[in-house]
Structure 1
Amino acid sequence: MNILITNIVVFEYTGTETYVKELAIELTNRGHSVEIFTFFKGKLAQELIEKGINVTSDLRQLKLTPDIIHAHHNIAALKVLSFFKFTPVVYFIHDRTSAFDYPFRHKNILKYIAVDYNCKERYCIENGFKEKDIEVVYNWANVDRFRLKQKINSHPKKALVFSNYLDENNIYPEIKEACVELGIEIEIIGSLSGNPCTKPEQILSKYDLVFAKAKAAIEAMATGAAVIVCDYRGLGGMVTSSNVKHFRDFNFGMKLMSKEPTKNNLIEEIKKYDSSEIIKVSEYIIKESDFLSVVSRLEVIYTELILEFKNEKRGNYNSTFFRNIFIYKVVLRSLILTQIRLRCPKLFIFLRSVFKKFKRNF
């Protein structure tokens, strides 16, 4: 089948961009024709183009008419829907608070999907969707890339902060202090810290302990690292066999980050390191978050929606002109900031620091 994926950005290795990359490659390997529409192209888009996957910011440059649209991000989806008016859509939310993930309605959207129950709440509690109309399809770990290491140390020796959102001015100093006090070496990777890593699967096995959230946390667990859910929003805590199901329901993300990431709180979580627990968590993640199984589920969804659309089924939620105008209003500020972040990263970091100071003072 011909599949068109939308994503606001295909520029670097962040959550949805990595999701799109892995999904597009696997669907192509399974014999489907995949193209990607985005507003911002970068190195990641070029990497996909070199693999034969068309990534474009101009809908007129698409080579095929899609049978199904796998839509991320509202304004990218709206743009595509105005161009392909007779194509079914499956619409995903990956984030509870992002303006780009503010859900919208359209008669061509036959299925709405959330990556966790936090995002499902955004549909239902905040925007009036019925619970039965929202399916949860969890994030995955690609175990062909992120392989379980052979040896898990009884005590943590090396730790990694695996995040695009942390740096020396944002939580990392507290993590570093906690690790140093416990005699643990600490490193950081991610775009904001100036140390991006395009192939984390090649280095994760070196670390006993990883501070991460969402997809990064899942990937770290798949390699046999102890994971403490932590990011700029706060501290979630150590993932254990007793909480892993609950943590997965909320994508190892913001809903869990109820603690302050102070040095003492971090030390308390680090001391929960237990090699037998790590093995149990890793085995659970490898089994329950299998990449190939999730892609197979998506293939089933695509096939069902194409058939339903041909049989004249339409979505339960219709759009209006004023709703769509509201979407553009909601995302305008985020769209400008995204452009600054991608084109002028130093200016973006400066503006972010100024905004933080402003918030503290007022």
Structure 2
Amino acid sequence: MRVLMTQRELLQAGGSEMVAVEVARTLSERGHDVVVFCPKVGDMARMLLPAGARVAQELRDVPWTPELIHGQHHLPAMAAVARFPGARAIYHCHGTMPWVERPPFHPRILKYVMMCEWMVVRAQAELDLPPERVTCVPNFVNTTRFSEVRQPPETVRRALLFGGPALPDAEFDRLNGACAALGIELEWIGRAYQNVQPRPEIFLQDYDLVFGIGKSALEAMATGCAVIPVIPGQAGQLITDASFDHWAHSNFGPRYFMAATQIGTLWLKQQLEAYNPADVAAVTARVRRERTLEGAVDRLEAIYRDAAAAPAPALSADTSFAPYLERLAKEVDALWLEREAVPALRKRVDELEAKLFVRAPRKRLPRLRSLLLRARYAWQRLARRGDIL
């Protein structure tokens, strides 16, 4: 089958980026002809080439008319749907927020694929999608890449805060303090902590316990680490063989209304009381059996076949709207990210002003004044750009 995947960027490792790369590679290795349309590419795009999958930064460079569009991210997916009016499509949804992830509506999007059952229920209620058009392909791990499995130790000594959204400073300090109080060394890796490392299949081997959610949690479990999900404002429980299905329902992340537990020493002590090396090994075996890349692609191929066999709605063959959407896919994300950065930078400017005029020792004034002027200039420049949105 000729499959066109869409992806907003392939710049550095992330959840949807790795889904695009790993699924495209596997489809290509199985004999499908695969092109990934991605307006912004970087080193990650080269990961597709050894398997024969290709990358197109513009839709006019796609060498054929796709039989199926595997859409990821709102604008690139809709640009592809507009450019190829005869192609059926599915939309692979990794979240309903922010807007770049939000599922678009179109008659030729025949199936919406969610990454956990919690999202299936939410999409049906929030987006008013018919149940027959929504399905789930659970998050997965490339067990060929994560080939080494560590032996869980009897006692937890090293922990890692891995991926996910950044914890607020107060919660980060509480987690660090809780680990220290229990004799655990805590480290952190991820984009949110300005510490991206590209080889989790290697560095996860060094940790007994991982605080993570989603794909990060799955990768840690597949490696033989114990996992506790945490997000800003909510602390989860140690994932055990008995609680695995409960956490899998929500993609291994705490959700609102599940609990009000907060990060702290007592909470962490209670979780570690449930730690059992044999149970960690059982969870690892389950992940490596039930959550494989190969199994996920099997399910996606079945969805492709059903979509390809479905009668396509009769629509106009006019493609004139496609270049407009394609241009938006290239430019609007950058404008949106700049606008999002303005409040954070404004807060930083205020903090620097407070240090400069209230608390700063005299010898630090020149340095702080320089930082303040640079920050104020950057904030004003972003604010001016944001005015055009």
Q: When the two structures are superposed, what TM-score results if normalisation uses the length of structure 1? A: 0.83
1-structure distance, mates of 2:350, 2:99 = 19
Tell me which moved more, 283-292 or 37-46.
37-46
Q: How does 1:142-157 map to 2 (within 5 A)?
A: 142-147=142-147, 149-157=149-157
2-structure distance, mates of 1:114, 1:64 = 28
Q: Is the 8 A contact 1:161 1:188 kept in 2?
A: yes
Q: Is the 8 A contact 1:171 1:231 kept in 2?
A: no
In the alignment, structure 1 residue 261 sits paired with structure 2 residue 263: yes
In the alignment, structure 1 residue 103 sits paired with structure 2 residue 97: no
2-structure distance, mates of 1:83, 1:211 = 42
Q: Is the 8 A contact 1:5 1:34 kept in 2?
A: yes
Q: Is the 8 A contact 2:37 2:56 kept in 1?
A: yes
1-structure distance, mates of 2:91, 2:254 = 21
In the alignment, structure 1 residue 289 sits paired with structure 2 residue 291: yes
Q: How does 1:64-79 map to 2 (within 5 A)?
A: 64-79=64-79
Q: Is the 8 A contact 1:337 1:348 kept in 2?
A: no
Q: Give ranges in structure 1 of 5+ residues lacking alignment.
A: 316-324, 342-346, 358-362
* Counterpart in the other structure of 2:303: 301
1-structure distance, mates of 2:83, 2:349 = 37
Identify if the C-alpha distance between structure 1 residues 258 and 299 changes in structure 2 by more than 3 Å, giving closer, same or farther.
farther
Q: Which amino acid letter does the alignment assign opposite residue 280 of structure 2?
A: I
Deviation of the 1:14 alpha carbon:
1.0
* Counterpart in the other structure of 1:223: 223
- Tell me the alpha carbon deviations over residues 279-302 of structure 1, each in whole angstroms, 9 at most, x when there is no partner: 221122112112111111111221
Superposed CA RMSD in Å reads 3.0
2-structure distance, mates of 1:54, 1:46 = 9
Deviation of the 1:190 alpha carbon:
0.9
* Counterpart in the other structure of 1:234: 234
* Higher CA-based Rg: 2
2-structure distance, mates of 1:285, 1:72 = 25
- Tell me the alpha carbon deviations over residues 51-88 of structure 1, each in whole angstroms, 9 at most, x when there is no partner: 65322331112223211111111111111111111101
* Counterpart in the other structure of 1:205: 205
Q: Is the 8 A contact 1:168 1:193 kept in 2?
A: no
Aligned residue pairs, count: 336
Q: Is the 8 A contact 1:230 1:257 kept in 2?
A: no
Deviation of the 1:49 alpha carbon:
4.8
Q: Is the 8 A contact 1:167 1:193 kept in 2?
A: no
Q: How does 1:1-362 map to 2 (within 5 A)?
A: 1-49=1-49, 52-147=52-147, 149-166=149-166, 169=169, 171-232=171-232, 234-255=234-255, 258-308=260-310, 312-314=311-313, 336-338=335-337, 350-351=344-345
Tell me which moved more, 141-150 or 102-111.
141-150
Q: Is the 8 A contact 2:189 2:196 kept in 1?
A: yes
2-structure distance, mates of 1:349, 1:282 = 41
Identify if the C-alpha distance between structure 1 residues 258 and 38 changes in structure 2 by more than 3 Å, giving closer, same or farther.
farther
Q: Is the 8 A contact 2:12 2:43 kept in 1?
A: yes
Deviation of the 1:164 alpha carbon:
4.9
Q: Give ranges in structure 2 of 5+ residues lacking alignment.
A: 315-323, 352-389
- Tell me the alpha carbon deviations over residues 185-225 of structure 1, each in whole angstroms, 9 at most, x when there is no partner: 22111122222111110121221101110011011101111
